[in-house]
Amino acid sequence: MGVSATPLNDKGGTLVLATAAPFGTIDPAFHNSVPGFPFMRLAYDTLATFEPVAGPSGLRLVPDLAIQIPLPTDGGRTYSFRLRPGIRYSDGQLLTASDFRRGVERLFRVGSPGAGYYSGLVGAQGCVAHPAHCNLSQGVVTDDATGSVVFQLTAPDPEFVYKLTPYAYGAPVPPGVPDHDIGTHPVPGTGPYEITSVTTRGVVFERNPYFREWSHTAQPQGNPDVIIWRYYRSQPQEVTAIEQGKADWTFDYITPAQVRFLQVNYPMQLHNDPTFSVDFIPINTHSPPFNNVLVRRALNYAIDRSKIAQWYGGASVATPTCQPLIPGLLGYERYCPYTLSPQPDGAWSAPNLALAKRLVAQSGTKGELVNVVGATDGEVPLQVPAYIAQVLRSLGYRTRLYMVPFESITETERRRFQLEVDGDWGPDYPDPSSYIPQFFACNGGNGNGWYCNPGLDQEMTKAALFEVQDPSQASATWAEVDHQITDQAVWVPMVNRRWVEFTSKRLENYQFNPVWGFVPDQAVVH
């Protein structure tokens, strides 16, 4: 839910945001954890952003540090921006066009996960090969006198403006910022707040003295005078602090039992918001027995998605899904072949265990060993990995269950897994291209090398290009890509989730943006 603009007399006070896990770094080149969107936009801006309001308007791209969002030229390979004049960083330095080239080059030099968004720039492949000597003078052409920032791409990219928005990867960087992770030393930003303190207790944001509202639509003046991200020892302590009015909001996962308690005792302080998210089980299609598509399909048929949704908290929190594409994104058509008595509306109704067992028998893999890996500290309920192991046993496989901390799993180990029951994903921007290729392309950065289909890669490239040339064809092509992935059972999609948040009694003007999530700077505290 959202409210209109807040009266000036509601500005002031201290907003306390609760988290159970300290941030390892506040460097905008690296901070991409779950709360990264609201955290970063307090202090940093990009050329374009999503309007920080609730509802459908929150999906609208608007110019931020740029005067307007340009249409691409040169066949879709050139994007020319012009900066708003007179904007300063929190340390008083004047924003210049060359700060954007410096920011993108720094992503490559420090090994930021955000560098991949800019791999299509002219010169970017040289930065990948020799990051310490990254030079994007041909890919990011700037003129400080005119405030011009021109991005030159090697190939058309209709999603390029979207790629300027995730976290603060596209934020400008002033001179003097070192080319290494700055950890707890703040980088100056242009946002309404600046980071003034980073301790073992939390991170403190105070008003940026140089901030002047240049666009209420893109980056409005904040309401609280101070915003504190405070660390607590555990998630239950966070909830207790909010109950007692010592904290105002938490983004940490609220268990189904807590949800039921809060629904009864604090119904007006519990918020249930739609998100672009899918929880799934990724499968290593190169590892027996899952190199056989019949086995992958069998597991998709066998699981009870309704039971899994209950572990998340029920229908108000999670709804069953059989496909990787998320509702609300381009090309989404509800599609579920993995259900008892499939219907034209594509809804999942019940597992089909009998068919699953026939597929396993047909595959000739019954009796093989499957190692099921789950995370002890992930977003997927702890019951789910054990349940998946149980389902596999019911299909005739020998199973071993390993529950380990998520952060303890190395990339080398992950590549050897057969399947991993900890998939939880929300796209960095609201378009299929923001995550579908990353998981399912042959060189997808999030795919662990578990699946490769060159023909599918070509279809995903076509879908992205169609978004500029022919949006209706783009939608149809993304739908076909989604159906191919589903039919090949590359994942076991489980549920689409809604996000549950608990706020204090004194917090008002709560808004949840469909891209950013909670908008803390527009909250009012009394």
Domain containing residue 300: CATH number: 3.10.105.10
Q: 257 in a domain, yes or no?
A: no
81 and 32 share one domain = yes
Q: pLDDT value at position 5?
A: 44
Question: Are residues 416 and 517 located together in one domain of the fold?
Answer: no
Q: Do 492 and 511 lie in a common domain?
A: no
* Helix pair 383-394, 293-302: axis angle to 10 deg: 120
pLDDT 10s digits, 22-45: 777 899 998 766 566 778 999 999
Q: Is residue 235 part of a domain?
A: no
Same structural domain, 85 and 146: yes
184 with 288, same domain: the answer is: no
Residue 453 within a domain? yes
pLDDT of residue 274: 86
pLDDT of 2: 41
Phi/psi at 351 (5° precision): -70, 160
Element (H, E) at 517: strand 517-518
5 burial type by CB count under 10 A (0-12 exposed, 13-18 middle, 19+ buried): exposed
Predicted model pTM: 0.84
Beta partners for residue 372, in sequence order: 401, 419
Give the DSSP letter string of 32-61: -STTHHHHHHTT---SEEE-SSSSGGGG-E
Is 288 a domain residue? yes
| Residue 476 lies inside a defined structural domain of this protein | yes
Distance, CA of 225 to CA of 333 (rounded, Å): 44
In this structure, the answer to whether residues 164 and 286 fall within a common structural domain is: no
Whether 397 maps to a domain, the answer reads yes
Residue 47 belongs to domain spanning: 8-228+504-525
Tens-place pLDDT, residues 58-115: 999 999 999 999 999 999 999 999 999 999 999 999 999 999 999 999 999 999 989 9
Claim to verify: residue 208 and residue 304 sit in the same structural domain: no
Q: Is residue 204 part of a domain?
A: yes
Are both 102 and 126 inside the same structural domain?
yes
CATH number of 129's domain: 3.40.190.10
Q: Do the domain assignments include residue 205? A: yes
Q: Which residues contact 360 (CB under 8 A, 6 or more apart)?
A: 294, 295, 298, 366, 395, 396, 397
| 500 alpha-carbon distance from chain centroid | 16
Q: How far apart are CA 461 and CA 332, in angstroms?
A: 17
Three-state secondary structure call for residue 155: coil
Its sign, for the CA torsion 63, 66, 71, 77, is negative
Low-confidence stretches of the chain (pLDDT < 70) are: 1-9, 32-36
Place of tokens 């594409």: 325
Q: What is the pLDDT of residues 373-414, one digit of tens each?
A: 999 887 899 999 999 999 999 999 999 999 998 777 877 788
- Total count of domains within the chain: 2
Same domain, residue pair 512 and 420: no
**98 and 47, same domain (yes or no):** yes
**Whether 414 and 515 share a structural domain:** no
Q: Decide if 219 contacts 49 (C-beta within 8 A).
A: yes
Q: What is the phi-psi region of residue 517: left when phi exceeds 0, alpha when psi lies from -120 to 50, beta otherwise?
A: left
Helix (H) or strand (E) holding 237: helix 235-243
Residues 383 and 493 occupy one common structural domain: yes
pLDDT of the residue at 499: 87
Q: Would you state the structure tokens that stand for residue 463, as one six-digit string?
A: 């879908």
